[in-house]
Amino acid sequence: MSSQKFESFSLPSGLQVVVEPMSGVESAAVTLMIPAGSVLDQPGKSGTAAILSEMLPRGAGDLTARELSAAMDNLGLQRSVSGGVGYITFSAATTADRIAEAIPLIASIITAPHLNEQQFGPSRELVQQALNAIDDEPQQRLGQFLRRCSYSAPWGNPAEGTLVNIPDITLQDVQQHYNSSICPNHSVIGVAGNVNAAELQDTVAAAFEGWSPKEVVALDADGVEASPKHVEHDSAQTHIGLAWKTVPYRHARYFEAWATVSLLSGGMSSRLFTEVREKRGLCYAISASINTQKDQARVFGYAGTTNERAQETLDVMVAEIRRLHEGITEDELQRCKARAKSTLIMQQESTMSRSSSLARDTLHLGRVLGLQEIRSRIDSLTVDQVRDFALEYAPDSMVLVTIGPDALDASCLKGTAPAV
């Protein structure tokens, strides 16, 4: 991989900007991450951040919603606003020669959105429709419950909100969320593409000049939902969710954590896929991945199966997780490394992926982790390191959430995994 150069600067408001010039491309991308996600939704108002994310691009500054959309379309700007648990993220990409014109439009969406009654109703309705769709999709519902049983509130708040709270959210609630949390301090802009960092600094400084810092809200933990949790659902299928603690992205041993999860669920040769799906034919879908927040993380596992085979699926999943440290081979680890390097190459070719990584790394690590450094850390992983991590961080307890007609026997979660 070619060497990477990053340039960073901070505005007087506290807004951090990180730029990665990429001379071999013709595009440029911007990712702005603001710590204003659902973690800041007030009790009984779950969904405020989601509605705010929907409203932000619906008119800003002197431009109506239609005019703003037309202006961005005229620049060929592919864009999205998404509300997450920790952050509201604005992502955009266009040709490199147009990014300087796009940045003032992006800034107006963040610093001068209209947030009026005309836009509130349709935005709330769209969020409610999205929640209705989730309510009809058991796997997505399972993810929400799994988060709430794994993280203390408000870190367990669903990014999408909840159907029961949406009708009670008012325009004033959304405006209050904006006024209290949309601020430049602790926010980061990542820019990647064929850009000049010095020229970009002047553009960003002028566009965000009026954005004032605010005091950041302190959060207190408020309990976690009980597990095991079963949600009754009349269906021919049972959906199983498991979660256990691991280290977050900023932790020194994160890549060891990544490798252990990749051994479990990194492809069609991974242990869960091979043992649970291929050899025994227990389920039609199975996976595991790391869900990382800034200071805490969980591994989330999922399996979808028939009701008749649900108990055996759970037992075998838990057994495979518990015996992960056993028999790790060099070939297994090399397959994990090969998959990771393939992903890195694709990231190197995508300005959108790079701008997102710049912002995320700055928020989580306080610096950018270059692709060459990531590759080096992956290459240096050994079987002994991964086995030691799997042993040291083996789950002494797991969260279990199931959706289906019948609850499952959770005794496999206690003590030694059953022989299956």
Over the stretch 296-328, which tens digit does the pLDDT of each residue have?
999 999 999 999 999 999 999 999 999 999 999
Provide the pLDDT confidence category of residue 269 given band limits of 50, 70 and 90.
confident
Report which secondary-structure segment, H or E, holds 8: strand 7-10
Q: What is the pLDDT of residues 94-114, one digit of tens each?
A: 999 999 999 999 999 999 999
Q: Assess whether pLDDT exceeds 90 at residue 82.
A: yes
Percent with pLDDT over 70 in the chain: 98
In this structure, how many other beta carbons lie within 10 angstroms of the beta carbon of residue 217?
11
Decide if pLDDT at 266 tops 90.
Answer: no
Common-topology check for domains 7-207 and 229-413 = yes
Question: What's the rounded mean pLDDT across residues 202-227?
Answer: 91
229-413 has which fold? Cytochrome Bc1 Complex; Chain A, domain 1 (3.30.830)
Q: How many CB atoms lie within 10 A of CB 175?
A: 17
pLDDT digits (tens, 9 = 90+) for 333-382: 999 999 898 888 877 779 999 999 999 999 999 999 988 899 999 999 99
Kindly state the tokens that stand for 404: 């289906």
Q: Would you mind telling me the total number of residues written for the chain in this entry?
A: 420
Q: How far apart are CA 95 and CA 216, in angstroms?
A: 35
Handedness of CA 59, 63, 67, 70 (dihedral sign): negative
Kindly tell me if the per-residue pLDDT of 383 is higher than 90. yes
Cis peptide before 248 (omega within 30 of 0): no
Q: What's the confidence (pLDDT) of residue 76?
A: 97
Which pLDDT band, with edges at 50, 70 and 90, does 24 fall under?
A: confident
The strand order across the sheet containing 78-83 reads 7-10, 16-21, 188-193, 27-34, 88-95, 78-83
| Residue 418 scores a pLDDT above 90 | no
Q: What are the structural domain ranges in the chain?
A: 7-207, 229-413
Percent of the chain with pLDDT over 90: 90
What is the reported pLDDT for 3?
58
Pick the CATH number of 7-207 from 3.40.50.2300, 3.30.450.40, 3.40.50.12780, 3.30.830.10: 3.30.830.10
Average pLDDT score over residue span 384-396? 96
* Phi, psi angle pair for 292, to nearest 5°: -115, 130
**For residue range 121-170, what is the model confidence (pLDDT) as tens digits?**
999 999 999 999 999 999 999 999 999 999 999 999 999 999 999 999 99
pLDDT band at 2 (very low <50, low <70, confident <90, very high): very low
